[in-house]
Structure formats: structure tokens, C-alpha cells
Amino acid sequence: MLETAETGILAFLNGGASLLTSRMSPKKKNSKSSKTSEILIPEKLYFRIGEVARLCRLPAYVLRFWETEFPQLKPVKSSTGQRMYRKRDVESVVRIKRLLYEEGYTIAGARQHLRDEGKTDKTQVALPFPTNSPNDLRHLRQGLKEILTILSPRR
């Protein structure tokens, strides 16, 4: 047991978990470690497809397929053709994964859900402006006229 813990710590310190996961049994579908809510996205401007795949625990080909299925997922491409995901793209991947894998949506259903979700976010709530009475407006107009006479050149 101590050897496995040391191997896991060394793998973590070296930035990879390949040694640790190769000795562990496969994860159960209902285990907490497969939940997307545990995914922590580092503060970076861009992520390569391999980094996103590792963060989200998905194969890269799934991400490439999702790009064709979900219009919200549009990573930019670098001058070398490498897909560069922004933080919002990674957040979209996490959201899509949660809808498909945890909530049981189909791809078409998840696409529609995200589309509907985007529509509701764009509706703007009207600001509660105070209603002005005619007396308030007259007072405001008089104040503006006084400012105008102060600012206008004298003849």
C-alpha cells in the first residue's frame, strides 16, 4: 500500500497520473471522481486539445466530434493548425459532458437545451427608472437653462 501511495505522489508531482491510474482498477460509473463538477479549469488564455481532453477526462476525438455537433464549441486554430480552446470553450465542454453523461440528454437534446439556455440569457430585464412628475421635469429643465446661461458667452 505504501508503494502505491508513493507512486501516486511521484506521478502527481511529475504532472501526470499515468502511473497512478495504470495500477488502479477502472472507475465505477457512479463514483464521485467522474462528476464534471470537480473539474477545475486553470487560469490560462488558451488550452490545446490534449489539455482539454485530460481536464475533462474525454478522448480528443470526442472533442473534435462535439465541435461538429455543438455550434457553441468553436476553438480557434493557431497558425500551425492546432486547436486552441479558450476558457469559455472548456466551460462549454464541461457543460456538454454533464448534459450528455450525467443528465442523460441525447446530442440533439443537449444542443436544443444549450440553444434554449442561450436565448434566455440574452433577454434583458428592463431597468426600473423612476417616473418623473411634470413638476420634477420643469425643475430639471430650469436647472439646465441656468447652466446653459452660465456656459454661454456673454455679449
Q: Per residue in 115-144, pLDDT tens?
A: 988 776 566 677 777 777 788 888 889 999
**CATH level 2 (architecture), domain 34-120:** Orthogonal Bundle (1.10)
Q: Where are the alpha helices (DSSP H) in 57-133?
A: 60-69, 87-97, 107-122
Please give the residue that has the higher pLDDT: either 112 or 27. Answer: 112
Please state, in angstroms and as integers, the Cα–Cα distance from residue 60 to each residue in 9, 80, 143, following that order. 26, 18, 65
pTM across the whole model = 0.55
